[in-house]
Structure 1
Amino acid sequence: MHHTHREDYVLKMYRYLRIYTPREIDEQIISRRLRIFLKYHDRGSTYKEHGRFRAIYLQRGLTPEDHRIQFFHELGHLMRHDSNRMFISGGLADYLEWDTRLFEMYAALPHHMLRGYDWDAPDIIEQLANDFVVPADFAEKRLNQLYRQSIVQPVVTRKTDPQLPTHSESYDPANWSYETQRIMSQLQEQIGEEVVNYVGLLRND
């Protein structure tokens, strides 16, 4: 199994939160232990950060499965990205959103909690969806990702739309401004990896 730095990040986060099993994954507990204000409202899910105040606002009325995915998406922005994104656009904005969607997938279905499952079981998708409280198509995408990283042919056959973008014209480095080039160079130095294609995919993923 090819392990990425994002998988390690999620593993360390759950250890810090003292969460070790799928049934312990809970939005209220995670928010409380990270000192993040969690509230439900009638608008779309979002997050806010002002000084030491951090908050996640989830759209009221969604299923528990959709609430969980949206919670981890907003948490990814809070945990991994600078809150001041007013002037971020183009390729860097694509990269930050892509990074958040990976965090969302890894945090909702962390690899270290999947090791006890039989990935070839005929009902594996339903098992994961039920145990981790995620939509079935989301569980299937995560499982297929793990199969690809393990260089094993997936056994699931349900048709789903791709989770991650395959191309972004705005990511073309030739069109970056000087400021975007500076920020991306700094980002590459910080994470120690090289950007290799036009959706910001890194060599280790």
Structure 2
Amino acid sequence: MKTIFSHIESTVSQFYMNHHIYQPIDMAIDDISAILDIQLTFNNGPSLIYTHATFISINIDPQLTQPKQRAAFFKGIAQTLCFTDLLTHHPFTPLIPNIYDHVNEFIQSLALPYHMLVSYDFADPLLPEQLSKDFDLPLLLCRKRMQVVQVIEFDKVDFPSFLEPT
């Protein structure tokens, strides 16, 4: 898993950096959807993905909190690119073998890209809360992401368990 995950990390980070997205503040979902040629709508009802030929639309329920809207957006991108035949039209998947087996990692990497995480103190037990605030994402998503990064990047180092409530 480490090789695939590292490849997902580098591919996602390279995509963002190629589009001058270096900080959480740069991650406006309307800008990212425009880069990927995905129509983004906000209509009451369930957040969902619609695809037809090469057309992709992600609808997000505006009644969700802002962090949940952003999480739904990144989940929509990952699921669209992993589970449709549109893979060849986007920059991620030709470079990531077996991405279907790594959807959750892909979602986490899209929402909290590694190149933006390296400046944070991974030993800080309040890091997930800080990431939640900085990236405007649900706390649980940030905890799960840090748990994965901790395993991948800091194997066998004594860091706090980010899945534990503080």
- TM-score, normalised to structure 1, is 0.65
Distance across 1 between alignment mates of 2:20 and 2:83: 23
The AA in structure 2 aligned to 1:143 is M
The residue that corresponds to 1:71 in the other structure is: 73
Structure 1 runs of 4+ with >4 Å offset? none
Distance across 2 between alignment mates of 1:145 and 1:157: 10
Q: How does 1:14-93 map to 2 (within 5 A)?
A: 14-83=16-85
Distance across 1 between alignment mates of 2:82 and 2:162: 33
For structure 1, the 5+ residue unaligned runs are 85-94, 161-205
SS in 1 for 2:160: coil
Q: Per-residue deviation at 1:58?
A: 1.1
Q: Per-residue deviation at 1:158?
A: 5.0
Distance across 2 between alignment mates of 1:121 and 1:138: 17
Q: Per the alignment, do residues 72 and 157 of structure 1 end up closer, same or farther by CA in structure 2, a change over 3 Å counting?
A: closer
For structure 2, the 5+ residue unaligned runs are 87-98
Distance across 1 between alignment mates of 2:30 and 2:162: 34
SS in 1 for 2:22: coil
Pick which of 75-84 and 54-63 moved more. 75-84
The residue that corresponds to 2:134 in the other structure is: 131
CA RMSD, aligned part only?
2.2
The AA in structure 2 aligned to 1:116 is S
Higher helix share: 2
SS in 2 for 1:62: coil
1:143 paired residue among 114, 124, 146: 146
1:38-73 CA-to-partner distances (Å, cap 9, x unmatched) read 001222211122123211111220011111111011
Q: Tell me if the contact between 1:144 and 1:154 (Cα under 8 Å) persists in the aligned partners.
A: no
1:120 paired residue among 112, 119, 123: 123
SS in 2 for 1:49: strand
- TM-score, normalised to structure 2, is 0.78
How many equivalent residue pairs?
148
1:145-189 CA-to-partner distances (Å, cap 9, x unmatched) read 1111221233146537xxxxxxxxxxxxxxxxxxxxxxxxxxxxx
The residue that corresponds to 1:155 in the other structure is: 160
Q: Tell me if the contact between 1:49 and 1:83 (Cα under 8 Å) persists in the aligned partners.
A: no
